[in-house]
Chains A and B, each alone.
Chain A
């Protein structure tokens, strides 16, 4: 089997450019990359047909080995049709992305980010002062029958909020407890990713 060197070099260049382009974040470039990859593959299939020969139209005088191999060409035709359909569909999607979001970039998955930024910190177990996250808050009754659990040492009510150190920063205990729960709405994230 002989190989056409020009075809091979062109194929290699197409693959290189295609792979470079699909690694981009811009959808149009990704599409161009996919088109280059598809065409490089078509050249590869063509190369498997061996040396160029006569068109595979049957005539009695031509010996069989003079013909070109027709099968790879049939395969290429099919793959061209398929990549045509996919390209058209991708263009539709890219246009739709533009209409919806006015941007041509691949966007991050919001749910994915939410799971990623859910802290592994558990206010009940990991804090220096364990936070009370129970739904039955502890109440202490004084000798007069009144609730004393919220009073300071001097007996008067304090407006001091219990804090604890979580993940290197100080935050209210209630806040930390809420953040520890899955699906916390306290954790916000920017659309570009990375979280706060």
Chain B
């Protein structure tokens, strides 16, 4: 029996965990044990899935015994299993960080005990979206993760969170409605929602209908992925949530949108009909996002803007529709999930240590906590794409793909990519200079915690903070460090990872492995080589 047939467990285990932790809502110690244990188990299972996809190629699991075009299928290929492993590793680190925060602050009240079940539901939704081989099941996966994210976003129900939550919920619901309309139209045009079946049947439609469906799906996914004109909601809503929640949202939720865009572009609508608009959108996303980041003084908001900006890199790789570009995009997604999440976790630590996440109030953190400085510096440089980090390797792959394509627009993207990378470095360096290097007294409105000298801290303004909570609990620093190490590991093992992304990209452009895994060996795949694999 193939290990891939256990794929549904990647969704079932977190849901089971959610049910258990909900029952254990009064026992926070047991809750933590169950959620961390089950998530570790899920991660182990997903590593096995990745290994099986690496060795045995694409596999499909039919659920409920219905024959593929009619029933629900889950598809394990290299891309989806890689996404599963990275997302589960990141969510496990964030979960440990969050429990560390809960323990340090001594939270035992109702709003926080709902955190574990909701968080596990979120993980289940993300896994479901990655595994789904069915457009409607993808929608359900999106809804599971979105509904969980609404609850996490407004955790505690404070004024700013409710305000941000309203925008977030309304925008997400509108994008879901658009997605549902697209599904209805796809079903009306083809009579199926199975993605492998659609890959064949959509090709038989006339060009106008095809373009309409294509654009509808891309707009729906574009809102979720925060691609430029549709990214306005993200920097407003993400920064107000609790630090671990923002971290996991920034790492995973937009990437699920990117994943869906990649599937749409490669499996459902191969070819290059919409590549020019996608390239323009990618360029604008990179530049507008990073210019927004430069105007911010709050680190969380700055990181939210860099998040939007770097989504542009992934769309860049996707819009090339060549194996090199797609491989670089796959690599970049894996890199960016890890790095962006670790930066947000470090920001949570900065906020605890320095009392604020605004660079106007921070200073002298490098002297105060060298460990914190190191934890910020490594992923920061990685995000900016300084060699030899994985951010640099991913960007080089993208630039290669752009030069290979060689059109004026592709060169514009190459230049835009380099400029964005430099501006990211500027944004990160500004945070570094202001929050870490200068003296606390030089800050515009220094936080009292920073000004308190070690001697004064016993009775000074920082004393209260110091006595009631640990400023940097070991679990929080440990989990952040773990994630930073994972980011460095992506650099060290970039060779195998790039090989994996390359194979994933080739399989996706070829489409045959996916379609034959779902519908059976005998199915003829139309236009296999014309699909863009040749370029």
A residues within 8 Å of B by Cβ?
1, 22, 27, 30, 34, 37-38, 41, 44-45, 47-48, 71-72, 75, 78-79, 82, 85-86, 89-90, 93, 96-97, 100-101, 106-107, 109-112, 115, 118, 181-185
B residues contacting A by CB (< 8 A) are: 136, 140, 143, 147, 150-151, 154, 157, 159-160, 162-167, 169-170, 173-174, 176-177, 180-181, 183-185, 187-188, 193, 236, 239, 295-298, 301, 358-361, 444-445
Docked pose: A89 CA to B212 CA in angstroms: 32
A18 to B230 alpha-carbon distance, docked (Å): 20
Q: A89-B151, A183-B360, A185-B445 are in contact. Are A109 and B297 (CB under 8 A)?
A: no
Q: Report the nearest B residue to A90, measured CB to CB.
A: B169
A48:B169 contact, CB within 8 angstroms:
no
Interface of B is mostly: helix
CA separation between A141 and B269, bound complex, in Å? 78
**Residues of chain B with a CB closer than 8 A to A100's CB:** 157, 159, 162
List, in ascending order, chain B residues with CB within 8 A of A72's CB.
184, 187
Q: Which 6 A-B pairs have the closest CB atoms?
A: A183-B360, A48-B188, A45-B184, A44-B184, A182-B297, A183-B297
Q: Are A93 and B159 in contact (CB under 8 A)?
A: no
**Contact assessment for B147 and A85 in the assembled complex, using a CB-CB cutoff below 8 Å:** yes
A residues in contact with B143, CB < 8 Å = 82
Please give, as numbers and ranges, the residues of chain B lying within 8 Å of A109 by CB-CB distance: 163-164, 236
In the complex, the answer to whether B169 meets A89 with C-beta atoms within 8 Å is yes
Return the contact of A101 from the options B159, B239, B297 (Cβ within 8 A). Answer: B159
Task: Name the CB-closest residue of A to B170.
Answer: A30
Q: Does A115 lie within 8 Å of B296, measured CB to CB?
A: yes
A44 near B173 with CB under 8 A, answer no
Q: Whole-angstrom distance from the CB of A112 to the nearest CB of chain B?
A: 6
Q: Are A48 and B358 in contact (CB under 8 A)?
A: no
CB A68 to nearest CB in B, in angstroms, measures 14
Q: With A41-B184, A45-B187, A86-B173 in contact, do A112 and B236 touch (Cβ < 8 Å)?
A: yes
How far apart are A110's CB and chain B's nearest CB, in angstroms? 8
Is B181 in contact with A41, judged by CB distance below 8 angstroms? Answer: yes
Min CB gap A193→B, angstroms: 13
Q: List 21 A-B contacts (CB under 8 A).
A: A22-B174, A34-B170, A34-B177, A41-B177, A41-B180, A44-B181, A75-B136, A75-B183, A75-B184, A79-B180, A82-B143, A86-B150, A86-B173, A96-B157, A101-B159, A109-B164, A115-B297, A181-B444, A182-B297, A183-B297, A185-B445
